[in-house]
Chains A and B, each alone.
Chain A
Amino acid sequence: MTPPILSVRDLVVEIPTRNALLRPVDRVSFDIAAGEILGVVGESGAGKSMTGNAVIGLLDRPAHIASGEIWLKDKRIDGLKGEGLRKVRGKGIGMVFQDPLTSLNPLLPIGEQISETILEHLPVSKSEAEARALAALEEVGIPAAKARMGSYPHEFSGGMRQRVVIALALCAEPDLVIADEPTTALDVSVQAQIIALLKRLCRDRGTAVMLVTHDMGVIAETADRVAVMYAGRLAELGPVRDVLTAASHPYTAGLMGSTPLASKGLARLNQIPGSMPRLGALPTGCAFHPRCPKTQEKCRVDPAPPMQGRAACWYPMTVEEIA
């Protein structure tokens, strides 16, 4: 087995507030191999972005990594600062966010932004960097790329901007790409274009991808494995087909059951009662227990166990329940 590109071990992110110490990410561990796409799903506030941002070193104070380790190949990257961090971003890890404008400089033509990033991270001449920038824009499907090198971000549509961001994220040939809701703001047809592009480029280069989204359909079609987060913790982690068609954690089962697609033909959808708790008001025991159909006394008292098999749950779904 080749060692993973990204290895996250017992990651804890904390936010000290006046009233309490919040843990938006609580003992999260996962690996991503070269060429593999790990989907990260979960409802709003589950800690998906916080996990991704911790990996790139983008946590905003007062949020910080309190414990755990993050390894990019054989280099430990949690705790990196300044120059070390700058090198890792771009050359080691490329980023794609929901809003393309957060990744682009509004005052710089896109060709220049990409060639500057290449120059910063790769040992090439200026003209070589420009040639590569053009090739990158052509590769992501910007029409008339040569003529558009001098255009500014605002002169592009949302979908085209996200293509530029993907070109920017991949131009320094990183080992890992973190894409946080890259298509959430886009229309279905444009989403299909962007996802196909991301898949193709990463497959061609063997890039590892962490794809954060709340869209189960996107995960099904894109990810190799999927991690399901709930209230800062990993609820389930496993091969995408297993997790989506035979959930082991009751939360995953509920989530899948409540998507309109899953209840085809039924007048009513399966619903999970209640909503995800706020971090400052987490229930005792397993954070999911007040909403869980399988709750027992143990769940109310003891925190959920570490991952056993695919799920962090005292009473995972049985074969009969899945069928």
Chain B
Amino acid sequence: MSALVQVRSLTRIFDVSKPWLNRVVERLPKAMLKAVSDVSLEIPERSVYALVGESGSGKSTIGKMVVGLLSPTEGAVEIAGIDLHRETDTAKVDGVRSDIQMIFQDPYASLNPRWKVRDIISEPVVARGGTADGLAERLLEQVGLAAVDAEKFPHEFSGGQRQRICIARALASEPKLIVCDEPTSALDVSVQAQVLNLMTDLKDDLGLTYLFISHDLTVVQHMADVIGVLYLGRLVEEAPREALFSNPQHPYTQMLFAAAPKLDGFGREVEPPKGEIPDPINPPSGCAYHPRCPLAVARCSAERPEMRDVAGSRVACHVAGEQAG
């Protein structure tokens, strides 16, 4: 298997300073927010790579850089060997762009209410000068809706049906890679199951690759082949699904798993995790998790841990794997 997506030392910094005049009057320094910090990963063709992490950990920012909606501050994203932000051959760039599609969390906001479903679905193809005869009808049936639905408008559909329309639109340009940003977070569980099953079927039938973004560990456990865990913009652990869920190595991953409610956790008393996610503008020194970490040693506040292999995981932690047992 070759990697379809190569992410190398990806960093994205946002300038979140107050307006210039306020800064001068109030004598404030510029405020820079490192939303993504030195993230490297690769996604093999026909696999599902999931990014998990709590709010603000940088999941969406990475997703947007992978599809080319945002440019990296440092580092690079290569899709099939092409760096969208540096490649100068526009034909190559266009080719890669049509290979990547994105699905968003909110199926209400991402469909133009004044367009018929047919136009919504075929737009990406028409915009490139392609023909769209019968395309919308065929795709609607593929995602479990009916050909006649092409005549309707988005408001005539439920949330789950709208997400199917979004998926149909994403499929229109026959992509290789779909970046799914919380695709079922706005849906009820019974409808979520329908959409996740559809995504699994399409992946198998069409040989798709997914970058699957979610904060829901149960969804990720169901969908992903490999999982990357983010904390404050940093990749803290990456492992194949089985390894991660049976034997999480990073103290943050362990905390996250322990805190997640269990369906069979009747009467379970959870020792609640300590503290909160720190201010991303002034992240802690060294390992960003050290102020909350039960294992932290002196080195943790001084030095940022490099990714290293521990028991089948890639882990960014000074201590992981060193305890006996």
* B95 lies within 8 A of chain A by Cβ: no
Contact of B263 among A262, A269, A270 (CB under 8 A): A262
**Residues of B contacting A192 with CB < 8 Å?**
259-261, 270, 272-273
Nearest chain A CB to B192 CB, angstrom units? 7
- Report the minimum CB–CB distance from B243 to chain A (whole Å): 15
Q: Is the CB of A220 within 8 A of B261?
A: yes
* Distance between Cα atoms of A217 and B261 in the complex (Å): 5
Given A159-B276, A189-B255: A261 in contact with B218 (beta carbons within 8 A): yes
Known contacts A44-B159, A189-B255; 7 additional CB pairs below 8 A are A157-B276, A245-B264, A260-B219, A261-B218, A262-B263, A275-B158, A275-B160
In the complex the two chains form, is A193's CB within 8 Å of B273's CB?
yes
**Cβ–Cβ contact A254 & B261, under 8 A:** no
Residues of A close to B196: CB separation below 8 A: 260, 269
Please, which residue of chain B has its CB at the minimum distance from the CB of A291? Answer: B190
Q: Which residue of A lies closest to B219 (CB)?
A: A260
Interface centre among A221, A245, A263 (most CB of B within 10 A): A221
The contact string, 1 if C-beta is below 8 Å from chain B, for chain A 239-272, is 0110011000000001110111111100111111
A196 touches B266 (CB 8 A): no
Interface size on A, residues (CB 8 A): 45
A221 touches B266 (CB 8 A): yes
8 nearest CB pairs, A to B: A217-B261, A258-B193, A192-B259, A43-B188, A187-B54, A260-B222, A269-B193, A271-B193
A269 CA to B266 CA, complexed, in Å: 23
A216–B191 contact, CB under 8 A? Answer: no
Contacts of B266 in A (CB 8 A): 220-221, 240-241, 244
Residue among B159, B193, B267, B268 with the most chain A CB within 10 A? B193
Cβ contact of A220, chosen from B191, B192, B265, cutoff 8 A = B265
Report the minimal beta-carbon distance from A288 to chain B, rounded to whole angstroms: 11
Mask: chain B, 214-227; 1 = CB below 8 Å from A; 0 = not: 01111101100000
> Which residues from chain B contact A66 at a C-beta distance below 8 Å?
none
- Bound-complex Cα distance A215 to B259 (A): 14
Say whether A272 contacts B270, CB under 8 Å: no
Closest to B52 in A: A188
Does B189 reach chain A (CB closer than 8 Å)? yes
Q: Closest residue to B261 on the A side, CB-wise?
A: A217
The answer for the CA separation of A267 and B276 in the assembled complex, in Å, is: 35
Say whether B262 contacts A275, CB under 8 Å. Answer: no
Q: Is B197 an interface residue (CB 8 A)?
A: yes
A115 to B262 alpha-carbon distance, docked (Å):
37
Q: List 20 A-B contacts (CB under 8 A).
A: A188-B215, A189-B54, A189-B276, A192-B270, A192-B272, A196-B269, A217-B260, A217-B261, A221-B266, A255-B190, A258-B190, A259-B189, A259-B193, A260-B219, A260-B221, A267-B200, A268-B200, A269-B196, A271-B190, A271-B197
- Residue A218 at the chain B interface, CB threshold 8 Å: yes
Interface of B toward A, CB cutoff 8 Å? 54-55, 158-161, 188-194, 196-197, 200, 215-219, 221-222, 255-256, 259-270, 272-273, 276-277
Residues of B within 8 A of A240 (CB): 266
Complex: A196 Cα to B273 Cα, angstroms: 10
A195 at the interface (CB under 8 A from B): yes
| Nearest-neighbor residue (CB-CB) of B270 within chain A | A192
Chain A: CB-nearest residue to B258: A192
- Once bound together, how far apart are the Cα atoms of A272 and B190, in whole Å? 6
User: Contacts A187-B55, A218-B261: A193 and B272 contacting too (C-beta < 8 A)?
Assistant: yes
A241 vs B262: C-alpha distance when bound (angstroms): 12
Chain A min CB distance to B187 (Å): 9
Residues on A with C-beta less than 8 A from B191 are: 43, 275
User: Interface 1/0s, chain A 182-204, versus B by CB < 8 A?
Assistant: 00000111111101110000000
Min CB–CB distance A49 → chain B (angstroms): 15
Instruction: Report the minimum CB–CB distance from A89 to chain B (whole Å).
Output: 28
Question: Which of A214, A221, A259, A260 is packed against the most chain B CB atoms within 10 Å?
Answer: A260
Which chain A positions have C-beta within 8 A of B263?
216-217, 220, 244, 256, 259, 261-262
Give the Cβ gap from B46 to chain A, nearest Cβ, in Å.
15
Chain A: CB-nearest residue to B221? A260
Contact A214 B272 (CB under 8 A): no
A276 within 8 A of B: yes
List A contacts of B218 (CB < 8 A). 217, 259-261
The answer to whether B270 and A195 touch across the interface, beta carbons within 8 angstroms, is yes
**Which residues of chain A in 256-304 are interfacial with respect to chain B, using CB atoms and an 8 Å cutoff?**
256, 258-264, 267-273, 275-276
How distant is the Cα of A267 from the Cα of B224 in the complex, in angstroms?
11
Contact A214 B188 (CB under 8 A): yes
A254 to B193, CA, bound (A): 10
Chain A residues with CB under 8 Å of B193's CB are: 258-260, 269-272
Rounded to whole angstroms, the CA-CA distance of A272 and B192 in the bound complex is: 10
CB neighbours (8 Å) of A270 from chain B are: 193
| B197 engages A268 (CB within 8 Å) | yes
Are A221 and B54 in contact, CB atoms less than 8 angstroms apart?
no
Contacts A43-B188, A157-B276 hold; do A196 and B270 have CB atoms under 8 A apart? yes
Q: Are A188 and B197 in contact (CB under 8 A)?
A: no
Note all chain A residues with C-beta closer than 8 A to B200: 267-268
